Structure 1
Amino acid sequence: MDYDIDFAQAAKQEAQRLGFDLMGFAPATEADGFAHFQTWLANGYAGEMTYLHQHADARRHPQSVLPEVVTVMMLGKNYANTPPSPSPSESPTGRVARYAQGQDYHDWIRAKLNELLAWFQRQDSQIIGRGIVDTAPLLERDFARRAGLGWIGKNTMLISRHRGSYLFLSALLLNCAIPPDPVHEVQYCGNCTACLNACPTQAFPAPRVLDATKCISYLTIELKSAIPQELSPKLSGWLFGCDICQEVCPWNRKPLQPAPNVPHDESLEQISLFELLELSEAQFRQRFRGTPLFRTKRRGVVRTAIHLLVNARELRVIPLLERLCSDPEPLLQETAHWAIQQLRTPQTSEPPQTIPPPN
């Protein structure tokens, strides 16, 4: 089944009607960056994300997801919103990355993809497809660049000249041939290294290479064990995820208006750390079910909250920590004991350390 450019344009118009901001078509061939991905894994940069190793070869070609695939339609949805202004509060708060400040994006984007697939099937009942929202083994950024959506920046994010990098990427794999869009060949980062210099943990050993084991997003979301003590002081107030390398990017300098049709909850922008430590398992589930924070579970969110309170030298939290020392969750017991020891130990005065620029 081959379709012409008019069909491709009609499909893009339907995607735009459904709320997507960027869309393009790419041929379903082997991923351009698969060799880079293999090297990245071999260097140990995936940390505890063992599922990336287990399903590594599946990312070589989109046929591993849909054997009949001929075309990959890549879609981008901007989720930018204005970051909250720091407000005086007696209770310290933790920041949440912008993408996580609302309903879990997997759910509502998948629903949009299903609507888009239904449109294709109304045009031709022989079309089959599968929607993907970063849960299947597909190197989305590779295909997004190939579909003309943007280029991969030095912080490894896909960047669009018109939409910046605050983008949810998703894909619709189709068994029909649709004219591809021009590949985005040019990288507009130039000599800029703002993202690399701004990273508190120096998580970029080289441009376009991320050592996830040092990334704040990894430490607060993917890491299931204790946060390394040497990295704890560099969390920079982030409770869940991190936007620093995007906040400093020149391509995100334009005024950021709340993205339309993106579920947003102001109560998830900054969350009281004391309140998190007081939540039971049932209360945590009730508060965060249906949001990205639910993925990390209570143990992960409260663990990180404890580290942020230690960094803030919040002595008022010690009674809550003493209670957590007998929590049913071993990780929280361990973290609470460590935190009490840290807070009861006088802080030494050390000269400030500067983060050297990347090589």
Structure 2
Amino acid sequence: MNLTLTAKSQLIRDKAKELGFDLCGIAEADFLSEEKERFIDWLDKDYHGEMGYMANNIEKRLDPRLLVENTKSIVMVALNYFPENTQEDSEAPVLAKYAYGKDYHFVIKEKLNALLEYINQEIGETQGRAFVDSAPILEHAWARKAGLGWIGKNSLLLNRKIGSFLFLGELLIDMELEYENPIYQDFCGGCSKCIRSCPTGAITEPYVVNGSKCISYFTIELKDEIPEVMKGKFENRVFGCDICQDVCPWNRMAKGNTVPEFEPNPDLLALSKEDMETMDAHQFGEVFRNSAVKRTKFKGFKRNLDFLQD
């Protein structure tokens, strides 16, 4: 079957939707020239903090063809993770919404591999790889280039229909396809709620986030002790942070996700302030067995809790 580029691309978009992805767009793999200066400047300002890996493989981050040989197209997908229900105890230390359900890395990777298999079986033989936060790829830049949304002032991808509570993933394949028009229009307008609401001042200017001042960085990425200067600035966040998303007007229309794997663990939502403060390693392992919270390990989780209490 000799399919046109348009037909191939539409079949991929349709299959992605069938697999449960909320958004799917396709971009031509090339060099992200418009991102280079901005990314280098971000690194030079040490905005990556102790995330040393961000300074590795810079050329691969800017050109995916160096990451996976013969890559011609990048199929970008997005999956809504906004939950219908949130934590029950208003005084309990707050967990980022993305950690309520099963770890998204496994969920999206499985769906992407199914999409790759479909392409090989129904569209044409192709070589490619699926990635979900597992390679040096500037996902937000590629998502914008694939037409999934624009980059908001909090540096996150925003979509006019479903907001920003989105997981991203991508397929790098050696098949030529039809490509979307990038979204460079800024629909944030004069709004600056995310900037004004960030308690640590991590959003240093519109579209620029000092990662080393972000609550998510302190509670997940940082392995050392949290700096004393941050005392009282976490607004009770113990793992990750959603503040810049919670205040975003574009998230007023966010609807609960329909992904079974992202259904919040009832035990997690039911945790009280006392439950968290008295939790032992065994209980931590049970409650957060499938959650991204396990990234902090019990030691890191206790460190975060202690920091909030002191």
TM range (shorter): over 0.9
RMSD: 2.0
TM superposition shift of 1:3: 4.4
SS of the residue 1:171 aligns to: strand
Task: Give the match for residue 30 of structure 1.
Answer: 31
Structure 1 residues 48 and 272, CA gap change in structure 2 (3 angstroms): farther
SS of the residue 1:192 aligns to: coil
SS of the residue 1:298 aligns to: helix
Structure 1 residues 269 and 219, CA gap change in structure 2 (3 angstroms): farther
What does the per-residue CA deviation read over 1:213-256, in whole Å, with 9 as the maximum and x for residues that have no partner? 11111111111111111112111011111101001111001253
Matched, 1:291 2:286: no
CA distance in 2, matches of 1:124, 1:222: 40
SS of the residue 2:180 aligns to: coil
TM superposition shift of 1:274: 4.1
TM superposition shift of 1:53: 1.4
CA distance in 2, matches of 1:267, 1:57: 44
CA distance in 2, matches of 1:109, 1:103: 11
Structure 1 residues 255 and 24, CA gap change in structure 2 (3 angstroms): closer
SS of the residue 2:167 aligns to: strand
CA distance in 1, matches of 2:186, 2:199: 25
Q: Percent identity?
A: 36
Task: Give the match for residue 12 of structure 2.
Answer: 11
For normalisation by structure 2, the TM-score amounts to: 0.93
What does the per-residue CA deviation read over 1:339-358, in whole Å, with 9 as the maximum and x for residues that have no partner? xxxxxxxxxxxxxxxxxxxx
CA distance in 2, matches of 1:38, 1:168: 25
Query: Unaligned 5+ residue runs, structure 1?
Result: 311-359
Query: Unaligned 5+ residue runs, structure 2?
Result: none
Question: Number of residues paired by the alignment?
Answer: 307
Structure 1 residues 269 and 97, CA gap change in structure 2 (3 angstroms): farther
Structure 1 residues 49 and 273, CA gap change in structure 2 (3 angstroms): farther
2:191 corresponds to which letter in structure 1?
C
What does the per-residue CA deviation read over 1:195-227, in whole Å, with 9 as the maximum and x for residues that have no partner? 000001111111111011111111111111111
CA distance in 2, matches of 1:268, 1:207: 34
For normalisation by structure 1, the TM-score amounts to: 0.80
What does the per-residue CA deviation read over 1:62-101, in whole Å, with 9 as the maximum and x for residues that have no partner? 123211100001101111124537647xxx5211111111
Q: Counterparts in 2 of 1:317-336, with a 5 A limit?
A: none
Q: Greater Rg, structure 1 or structure 2?
A: 1
Higher relative contact order at CA 8 Å, sep ≥6: structure 1 or structure 2? Answer: 2
Task: Give the match for residue 247 of structure 2.
Answer: 248
Of 98-107 and 1-10, deviating more is 1-10
CA distance in 2, matches of 1:270, 1:245: 24
What does the per-residue CA deviation read over 1:26-75, in whole Å, with 9 as the maximum and x for residues that have no partner? 00001242321111011010011011112333212112321110000110
What does the per-residue CA deviation read over 1:259-314, in whole Å, with 9 as the maximum and x for residues that have no partner? 4344222333474454445444444334323310111111111101112222xxxx
Task: Give the match for residue 180 of structure 1.
Answer: 179
1:289 corresponds to which letter in structure 2?
R
